[in-house]
Structure formats: structure tokens, C-alpha cells
Amino acid sequence: MITITLEHPVQEDLALLHERHTAAMHADTPPESIHMLPADALASPGILFYVMREDRAPVGMGALKRIDAIHAEIKSMHVLVEMRGRGLARMLLGHLVTEAREHGYHRLSLETGTQASFGPARALYLNAGFEECPPFEGYSLDPNSVYLTIRL
């Protein structure tokens, strides 16, 4: 059974998710182009952190970071590689979009990589209706980043 719940990002059983996400972000992205947040930063005010679990085991995560009253950003979305190919990332993204709407956001944006390793993520977001946009809140043009947004 798959569940997605609002949880605290610093938990012992989430260590593997955070480690894998960090490793994936550093695999082929220059350090100055990595915009991920460490687990403790995901516990900051204005961030809603969600954990996807299968039979209580964490298999995915994602967060909504408030930019302003009507605009939020998706942060730290990750599904364990061994769990991919089952539609879990699509399910998690759908949950984040629904939660953003329920929290009154009218726009949801994200930053992801331009490298081939980020191709499946870009396809997921584009297939969900996200469109390319200029850099937003705190970002600048970067050849290693693509910025996407969707109106809710």
C-alpha cells in the first residue's frame, strides 16, 4: 500500500532517501549549480515535506517551499531508483500539485537539471503540464538548470 503523508524531514528512516537524492544531485552537476536543500533545511518554516511510503518503508519524498502567498516551489522530489517505473513519481507529483492547490497556491515552479540524467524528471514535469519559464525567486540563468512552472 502506498501512502503520502506530511512528515518531518529529519528522521532516521529517511536517511537513505536523503543520501540517494544528494548523490544523484552531485553525480553530474557542478557544485555551483546544485540547488537542493539538506534535510535540516527542509524543516524550515514555509516548507511542507511529504514522504511516500510503501508498507511503511520510505520510497519517495518531495517538498513545497513557499515563495509568496500564491507561489510555491517543488524541492527535493526523489523516488528511490529501485522503485522507479511504477508511476510513483507521477503519483508523488500529483500529490504535491493537489497539496499546493489546497494550500491556496496559484502557481507552482521548480528547478531541475539540463543533464541527460535529469531527462526523465523533465519529461515527467512537462507531461504534467509544466512549462519552461525564466528563473524565479533566488535563481539566475544557469546552463545546468531549467526552470519550469504551472498555473494551478
Dump pLDDT digits (tens) for 98-140. 999 999 999 999 999 999 999 999 999 999 999 999 999 999 9
**Average pLDDT of span 46-58:** 97
127 CB burial (10 A radius; 0-12, 13-18, 19+) = exposed
Going by C-beta distance under 8 Å and a sequence separation of 6 or more, which residues neighbour residue 81? 20
18 CB burial (10 A radius; 0-12, 13-18, 19+) = buried
Domain boundaries, the chain: 2-151
DSSP state of 9: S
What per-residue confidence (pLDDT) applies to 78? 96
What per-residue confidence (pLDDT) applies to 69? 97
Q: What is the pTM of this model?
A: 0.96
Tell me the chain's radius of gyration from C-alpha atoms.
Answer: 14
What per-residue confidence (pLDDT) applies to 31? 87
pLDDT at 40 over 90: yes
Query: Which single residue is written with the C-alpha cell 524543516?
Result: 43
CATH number of the domain at 2-151, please?
A: 3.40.630.30
